[in-house]
Amino acid sequence: MSEVHVEAIHHFCRKCAHLTEYAVLALLLWRAVRKPVRNDPRPWRWREAAIAALIVFAYAASDEFHQIFVPSRTPMVSDVFIDTSGAVMGMLLLWAVGRLLKWWPKLQVSEPATA
């Protein structure tokens, strides 16, 4: 296997690891924002997921900004995109698993009062 091929595999694995790390960070941040309890009766709220993803975006952007000042590192906007994509994937995975396992009760829509 050529050195270029090995470097490409190494690069791909590093980016997948970043995606996974930031998905886990988003899950932990969602948990901090939502403050779930056992048998939580609240339905899924996309706002909580968005808050977690936005915090991840801010952290990823600040991490890349920090790399400007580290001689051996190269800041890249694409890394912020990869990290934020990991957060969004983490939130979508949590929502899908929650729907599958029926963690999220259906949102009750109240009927308008009739006169």
In which residue are the tokens 């957060």 written? Answer: 87
Q: Is the pLDDT of residue 109 over 70?
A: no
Q: What is the mean pLDDT of residues 77-93?
A: 96
| Torsion over CA: 28, 30, 35, 39 (sign) | negative
CA dist., res. 7 & res. 35, Å (int): 42
- Listed in sequence order, the residues at least 6 apart from 22 whose beta carbon sits closer than 8 Å to its beta carbon are 56, 60, 82, 83, 84, 86, 87, 90
Tell me the domain boundaries of the chain.
3-100
What integer pLDDT is reported at residue 100 of this predicted model? Answer: 94
In which residue are the tokens 């952007």 written? Answer: 61
What integer pLDDT is reported at residue 37 of this predicted model? Answer: 86
CA-atom Rg of the chain in angstroms: 19
What tens digit of pLDDT does each residue of 7-50 get? Answer: 999 989 999 999 999 999 999 999 999 998 888 888 999 999 99
∠ CA 36-41-42, rounded to 5°: 70
Stated pTM of the model:
0.84
Q: What is the mean pLDDT of residues 64-82?
A: 92
Q: Is the pLDDT of residue 53 over 60?
A: yes
